[in-house]
A and B are shown apart, each in its own frame.
Chain A
Amino acid sequence: MYRLMDGMKLVAAVAIVSCGASQVVADDFPSGPIEVINNSKPGGGSDIFLRFATEAAAEILDTSIIHLSKTGGVATNTLKYVQSKPADGHTLFIVNAGTALTMMSGSIDMDQDDIIPLVRGTVEPEFIVVQAGRFEGGADFIEYAKSNPIKQAGTKVGGNAHVNALIMKNTIGMAQQTYVPFEKSGEIVINVINGNVDVALLNHEEFASQAAAGQVDVLAVLLPERLENMPEVPTGHEIGLPMDSPQIRGLGVRAGTPEEVVDKLEAALLESMKSDTYVEYLKGSGQDLTSVTGRDAFGAEFKTMYDNYQSIKKELLGG
């Protein structure tokens, strides 16, 4: 009799829990501080993005947010750390081209189905930048690159900038491309100006001062449409380089995180990114709130990026 009572209690308890589970999970979340994992060094571009993106979220979710840097192997160490944590929404991480690149390189046992890209925070277009007066225009440069060796500057080999340079080489059909890697974007623009390299793909803030000073020319922006605030700059498509490579940054969680928690996080992050501080941050690199999108759009975008990288996998990994 006693046992039967116990058994009934148990059944009743299970029934109650399963009915109310989803609501309970969402109500209890977050049950502690949320970690935000970054794959660049403290003070790097992604670190700064994450600090601004999540700043208001701490208040919205009524918890504290801890920023951690796990650098190494592009995003390998970040994803390894994420893998070691439970899929409960208390561990957020940066999702960018490096994430897709690391999954492609095979240095981590994860693919696109193991993560949920949650919200996108930045879309920074890349521009083709050359020494001032060096070329007549974009078409002139492309014509030149088809029959002359080109030295192209970027950041470390195997990283995002290198991959984009390879895509650019293939799309143009460059005769010969020598990729010269630098540690920092400041060095890249200097070496474009002093003629050590021919061309570089840069974000607007990396060359804006130099363009204003007449030291560099901007040949094109690698986007499907011209930018509203820079209507004079043609797109890559117009000059014969049909490629789009905006630098995308967002946040993600592990797949398997309860659906209600994912919804709550998405809503909180989207609201956080509507804050004045974040809008000012976006303005700093010539962006606006159109850069911010939720899970559906960002997920589809990440998938495209992932598939694109798979297509150049062979060339990048050398076989």
Chain B
Amino acid sequence: MDSLVLVAQFLTDPSNLMIIAVGTLVGLIVGALPGLGSVVLIALMLPFVVRMDPTTGIALCAIVYCATTYGGSLTAILINTPGTPAAAMTTFDGFPLAQKGQAGRALGIATFSSAIGGILGILVMIVATPLLAKLAYQFGPAEFFALAVFGMSMLASISGASMIKNFIGGAFGLLLATIGTDLTTGVERFTFGQPDLYEGIAVVQIMIGIFAGGELLRQATQTKVKRELIAEGVTRLPSWQDFRRIWKTVLRSTGIGTVIGILPAEGGKVAAMIAYNEEYRWSKNKDEFGKGAIEGIAAPEAANNAATGGTMVPTLALGIPGGGSTAIILTAMLILGLRPGPQLFVEQPDLLAGIFGAMLGANVCFLIYGLLGAKLFSRITLIPTTILWPCVIALACLGAYSLQQSMFDIGVMIFFAVLGFFLNRHGYAPAPIIMGLILGELIETSLKQSYLIYDGNLLAILGQPIALAFLLLSLLGICGPLIAKALGAFRDKQASLLTGNDE
């Protein structure tokens, strides 16, 4: 309870509110720009942050971290280009809904889900950080391997395309993830002696290419198709019915996001993916997914923003960063003379209240910006395609270039744009490819690490309770629908036998 009082104190200080308002705005813009994300922004801010008062400095980092995660969804919905990797899953339903002339509704759902996910994630953090942090200790390679397998278990049905095409797409994503120097052997794979490929291909380049570039080329083939969008419909925000429809989704996904966020080294992108999978798995109207289901926007957005709170848990409570951004926040803390760890909660309640308060404030702040801005931003979809998409591609090139200041990355982006166009034409959805790409590295690395740890006996993975549970869940996820189908057929047969209506 004391901590909540301290949080309230932080939030009533006008100068703190000012920092929240400005920090959130900057984070939102950087998050929306494809390529740039919180890691780059916080790294740039670092020399200034360390000269601030410790609480303010770390709070500012936390604010921009929250805001960039949300910002990524704006471009994902409006121009099919995830501003951050964590927003990749948001494109699958966000962009189709915007294309239907309901951009305002899509943005409203994303904003609402992000803020609720973020706020609930932080409340969990305030109450239970020291307790939750212990979860991080439980996750070794075996557990990560099982988690990634669980994520992949939805591969077959993740997009409306045929099962075979989903498998081919997933396998292609896995293959892409193997490019570069292998962590466990030091061997270069599929680099063709090209130094630019030593580190593999950044997920960002592939995503910008497949999503933005592929869409540009597709639009280019349809310049004669007239789209009639009415401004009033486009800017309309979600209705109460919409909120009633998604609140359960938001709660579920917040839970998933918080837990995955806590795990070391995993962040928003895996959280968003698993939340989307689970929403799809349990949804009664699967047909709508990929075509603009609001649950498909709510799930990844609630999860990736909840994961932002989640990744702060091990950072603050254990001094173990959960991702790239928190690693820099940790450095900033050390420079400011703050030593994260269990004792931080006893010795520095003000600092923690500041961080939690700032994150809460940032979430409320982007909720306001987002809902106010949705009416304005949604008009982007009214811009004629022939003007909008050339602008998008310029932005995409800039995004691909900005990460490493390398022309090679633009080439990679263009390659994937062309590839994305043809894949789309032949009925291959991007979802399974992105799934393979994001989870592929985790699966491979954790499997190899397990191999080394268990002296080549991979069955030992089954001896780890958490890993076993995830593997059983995956098995259930894969076989469940088949068993249900078989059972259903069996019952129908029995019923028809009983009524004597067998034809």
Residues of A within 8 A of B (CB): 41-43, 45, 47-48, 51-52, 55, 68-73, 76-77, 80, 151, 156-158, 162, 178-184, 186-187, 189-191, 193-194, 196-197, 205, 208-210, 212-213, 277, 280-281, 283-285
Which of B1-9, B248-256, B313-321, B372-380 is found at the contact surface with chain A?
A: B313-321
> Do residues A209 and B337 form an inter-chain contact, with CB atoms below 8 A?
no
> Do residues A186 and B342 form an inter-chain contact, with CB atoms below 8 A?
no
**Given A48-B331, A80-B195, A190–B320 Cβ distance below 8 Å?**
yes
> In the complex the two chains form, what is the Cα distance from A196 to B39 in whole Å?
30
Pairs A–B under 8 Å by Cβ, sample size 7? A72-B195, A156-B186, A157-B186, A184-B321, A184-B327, A210-B318, A213-B343
Tell me the count of chain B residues lying within 8 A, CB to CB, of chain A.
Answer: 56
List of 10 A-B pairs having minimum Cβ-Cβ separation, nearest first: A209-B319, A72-B198, A209-B341, A158-B186, A284-B334, A157-B186, A284-B335, A186-B320, A43-B43, A73-B198
> In the complex the two chains form, what is the Cα distance from A158 to B325 in whole Å?
26
Min Cβ gap A286→B in Å is: 9
> Do residues A151 and B452 form an inter-chain contact, with CB atoms below 8 A?
yes
> Do residues A209 and B340 form an inter-chain contact, with CB atoms below 8 A?
yes
| A-side contacts of B43, CB under 8 Å | 42-43, 47-48, 51
| B-side contacts of A51, CB under 8 Å | 43, 46-47
> Do residues A184 and B340 form an inter-chain contact, with CB atoms below 8 A?
no
Min Cβ gap A196→B in Å is: 5
> Do residues A186 and B334 form an inter-chain contact, with CB atoms below 8 A?
no
Confirm or deny: B184 has a beta carbon within 8 angstroms of a beta carbon on chain A.
yes
Min Cβ gap B60→A in Å is: 16
> Do residues A48 and B136 form an inter-chain contact, with CB atoms below 8 A?
no
| B-side contacts of A42, CB under 8 Å | 39-40, 43, 403
> Do residues A190 and B140 form an inter-chain contact, with CB atoms below 8 A?
yes
> In the complex the two chains form, what is the Cα distance from A213 to B133 in whole Å?
13
> Do residues B264 and A187 form an inter-chain contact, with CB atoms below 8 A?
yes
Q: A71-B198, A77-B198, A196-B453 are in contact. List 20 more A-B contacts (CB 8 A).
A: A42-B40, A43-B39, A43-B43, A43-B328, A55-B47, A72-B195, A73-B195, A77-B195, A156-B181, A157-B183, A157-B186, A182-B449, A184-B327, A186-B265, A189-B320, A194-B138, A197-B453, A205-B334, A210-B318, A210-B341
> In the complex the two chains form, what is the Cα distance from A107 to B247 in whole Å?
55
> In the complex the two chains form, what is the Cα distance from A280 to B137 in whole Å?
31
> In the complex the two chains form, what is the Cα distance from A193 to B328 in whole Å?
23
| A-side contacts of B219, CB under 8 Å | none
Picked from B50, B403, B452, the residue with its CB within 8 Å of the CB of A180 is B452
User: Which partner residue on chain A sits nearest B344 by CB separation?
Assistant: A209
> In the complex the two chains form, what is the Cα distance from A126 to B341 in whole Å?
20
| B-side contacts of A191, CB under 8 Å | 140-141, 453
| B-side contacts of A280, CB under 8 Å | 50, 335-337
User: Which partner residue on chain A sits nearest B182 by CB separation?
Assistant: A157
Min Cβ gap A43→B in Å is: 4
> Do residues B319 and A180 form an inter-chain contact, with CB atoms below 8 A?
no
> In the complex the two chains form, what is the Cα distance from A184 to B136 in whole Å?
14
> Do residues B314 and A186 form an inter-chain contact, with CB atoms below 8 A?
yes
> In the complex the two chains form, what is the Cα distance from A89 to B47 in whole Å?
24
Picked from B39, B341, B445, B452, the residue with its CB within 8 Å of the CB of A212 is B341
> In the complex the two chains form, what is the Cα distance from A277 to B46 in whole Å?
11
Interface residues in B89-112 (C-beta closer than 8 Å to A): none
| B-side contacts of A187, CB under 8 Å | 264-265
> In the complex the two chains form, what is the Cα distance from A41 to B406 in whole Å?
13
| B-side contacts of A194, CB under 8 Å | 137-138, 140
| B-side contacts of A41, CB under 8 Å | 39, 324
| B-side contacts of A72, CB under 8 Å | 181, 195-199
**Given A183-B183, A183-B265, A76–B337 Cβ distance below 8 Å?**
no
User: Which partner residue on chain A sits nearest B328 by CB separation?
Assistant: A43
A-B contact count (CB 8 A): 148
| B-side contacts of A212, CB under 8 Å | 339, 341-343
Confirm or deny: B285 has a beta carbon within 8 angstroms of a beta carbon on chain A.
no
> In the complex the two chains form, what is the Cα distance from A186 to B324 in whole Å?
11
Min Cβ gap B380→A in Å is: 29
Min Cβ gap A146→B in Å is: 19
> Do residues B47 and A277 form an inter-chain contact, with CB atoms below 8 A?
yes
User: Which partner residue on chain B sits nearest A178 by CB separation?
Assistant: B452
Interface residues in B39-69 (C-beta closer than 8 Å to A): 39-40, 42-43, 46-47, 50-51
| A-side contacts of B318, CB under 8 Å | 209-210, 213
> Do residues B335 and A281 form an inter-chain contact, with CB atoms below 8 A?
yes
| B-side contacts of A76, CB under 8 Å | 195, 198
> In the complex the two chains form, what is the Cα distance from A86 to B42 in whole Å?
32
**Given A77-B198, A283-B335, A285-B334, A157–B40 Cβ distance below 8 Å?**
no
**Given A52-B47, A69-B404, A190-B139, A184–B264 Cβ distance below 8 Å?**
yes
Picked from A69, A197, A277, the residue with its CB within 8 Å of the CB of B51 is A277
| B-side contacts of A80, CB under 8 Å | 195
> Do residues B47 and A208 form an inter-chain contact, with CB atoms below 8 A?
no
> In the complex the two chains form, what is the Cα distance from A52 to B452 in whole Å?
38
Min Cβ gap A276→B in Å is: 8
Min Cβ gap A215→B in Å is: 8
Min Cβ gap A1→B in Å is: 54
**Given A43-B43, A43-B328, A213-B341, A186–B321 Cβ distance below 8 Å?**
yes
> Do residues A43 and B42 form an inter-chain contact, with CB atoms below 8 A?
yes
Picked from B327, B337, B455, the residue with its CB within 8 Å of the CB of A283 is B337
> Do residues A183 and B141 form an inter-chain contact, with CB atoms below 8 A?
no
| A-side contacts of B348, CB under 8 Å | none
> Do residues B47 and A151 form an inter-chain contact, with CB atoms below 8 A?
no
**Given A277-B51, A281-B50, A48–B328 Cβ distance below 8 Å?**
yes
User: Which partner residue on chain A sits nearest B322 by CB separation?
Assistant: A186
| A-side contacts of B184, CB under 8 Å | 157, 181
> In the complex the two chains form, what is the Cα distance from A106 to B426 in whole Å?
44
Among A70, A178, A285, residue most surrounded by chain B Cβ atoms (within 10 Å): A70
Confirm or deny: B283 has a beta carbon within 8 angstroms of a beta carbon on chain A.
no
| B-side contacts of A180, CB under 8 Å | 449, 452-453
Min Cβ gap A106→B in Å is: 13
**Given A76-B198, A77-B198, A186–B183 Cβ distance below 8 Å?**
no
> Do residues B328 and A157 form an inter-chain contact, with CB atoms below 8 A?
no
**Given A52-B47, A157-B183, A184–B265 Cβ distance below 8 Å?**
yes
Min Cβ gap A25→B in Å is: 28
Confirm or deny: B185 has a beta carbon within 8 angstroms of a beta carbon on chain A.
yes
| A-side contacts of B335, CB under 8 Å | 280-281, 283-284
Confirm or deny: B405 has a beta carbon within 8 angstroms of a beta carbon on chain A.
yes
| A-side contacts of B198, CB under 8 Å | 71-73, 76-77
> Do residues B183 and A68 form an inter-chain contact, with CB atoms below 8 A?
no
Min Cβ gap B363→A in Å is: 23
> In the complex the two chains form, what is the Cα distance from A68 to B47 in whole Å?
16
| A-side contacts of B181, CB under 8 Å | 72-73, 156, 158
> In the complex the two chains form, what is the Cα distance from A283 to B338 in whole Å?
11
> In the complex the two chains form, what is the Cα distance from A180 to B456 in whole Å?
12
> In the complex the two chains form, what is the Cα distance from A71 to B51 in whole Å?
29
User: Interface readout for B152-183 with A: 1 if CB under 8 Å, 0 if not?
Assistant: 00000000000000000000000000000111
> Do residues B264 and A190 form an inter-chain contact, with CB atoms below 8 A?
yes
